[in-house]
Amino acid sequence: MPLNENKSHGVPKSHPRFSSLKYRHKIIEGMKNLVVAEAGLIAHGRGECFDYIIGEKTIKTAKNAINAAVAVLLTAKRPVISVNGNVAALVPNELVALSKLLNIPLEINLFYSKEGRIKAITEVLKNAGATDIKGTNEDMMTELTGLESNRRKVDFIAKADVVMVPLEDGDRTETLKKLGKMVIAVDLNPISRTALWADITIVDNIIRVIPEMIETAKQFKKLNKKELIEIVNNFNNKLNIQKTLDLIIDYITKQKEEAFKILE
């Protein structure tokens, strides 16, 4: 038996925080390979913190938002999924599987541009089987008006009607909204500017969201357009975020009661 079969990056699989540590290492490796920006490590840490207070699981409101998101993506005319370094490092295979299942292109879009980063991310996505990758050729890009960050440079996104933005910054979400796009956000922070600006906010970890979207898409592909539109119409993002915050309060209240029991 290989010595490290029960370990990953030196972390034993029996470690209570194995999964969290595994993804941390993916981010660190991503940074070494230029896929993840240094600031991506900090963004990941911010995400971990919010993941902790939802109980590191897909809560009911996230499932509601996932259903609405998949229904929207299945009925959209020109949908696209925006990809940044953290997403490419964490869930490349799942992301490509979702893009193929829904027949939606992936577009690399980065806040921090650095020589070789787009190439490195393209490589990761291609290795995961992606064939339709946008945002790789600067000559094909246009600029979103009203946005100063590097995220203003877009390709397919410029003409898209629905843009899914996992781990986005608030500025571009706001800009995309002002340009009339429908925005689907994946953000563990339910009160980030992105979460509040988006039309559909999935408050959950991207590592759970994409596999859940794949399973949902497999089911929803059997529905007709009317049924899909009904799912979208029954979803209220503002209410869903409010309920998410209520679930967080409930979880923390329970933890307040439970937390010290392990010490007794």
Binding flag, residue 65, ligand ATP (CB under 6 A): no
56, 123, 132, 169: residue in contact with ligand ATP (rule CB under 6 A)? 169
Under rule CB under 6 A, residue 7 binds ligand ATP: no
177 Cβ contact list (under 8 Å, min separation 6): 183, 197, 198, 199
E strand intervals along 93-247: 106-108, 133-134, 142-143, 153-154, 162-166, 182-186, 200-202
Which lies closer to ligand ATP via its Cβ, residue 8 or residue 20?
20
Interatomic CA distance for residues 157 and 106, integer angstroms: 10
Q: Based on CB atoms, which residue is closest to ligand ATP, 43 or 110? A: 43
CB of 98 to ligand ATP, least distance (A): 15
- The region of 44-52, 133-141, 146-154, 234-242 touching ligand ATP under the rule CB under 6 A is 44-52
Site for ligand ATP in 184-203 (CB under 6 A): 186-189, 192-194
Site for ligand ATP in 104-133 (CB under 6 A): none
How many C-beta neighbours within 10 Å does residue 189 have?
A: 16
* Sign of the CA dihedral with 141 first, then 143, 148, and 151 last: negative
Min dist CB 115 to ligand ATP, Å, is 21
Give min distance, CB of 164 to ligand ATP, in A: 12
Residue nearest ligand ATP, CB atom distance: 47
Size of the site for ligand ATP (CB under 6 A): 17
181 binds ligand ATP (CB under 6 A): no
Angle of CA points 236, 237, 239, to nearest 5° = 70
- Return the amino acid letter for 93: N
Q: How far is the CB of 19 from ligand ATP (least distance, A)?
A: 12
Nearer to ligand ATP, 99 or 192 (CB): 192
Residue 160: how many other CB atoms lie within 10 Å:
25
Give the relative orientation of helices 92-102 and 117-127 as an angle to the nearest 10 degrees. 70
Give yes or no for residue 170 binding ligand ATP (CB under 6 A): yes
Size of the chain, expressed as the number of residues it contains: 264
Residue 22 binding ligand ATP, by CB under 6 A = no
29: helix, strand or coil: helix
Q: Does 55 bind ligand ATP (CB under 6 A)?
A: no
DSSP one-letter code for 182 = E
CA angle 134, 169, 207 (to 5 degrees): 70
Q: Which residues bind ligand ATP (CB under 6 A)?
A: 43-44, 46-47, 50, 167, 169-170, 186-189, 192-194, 205-206
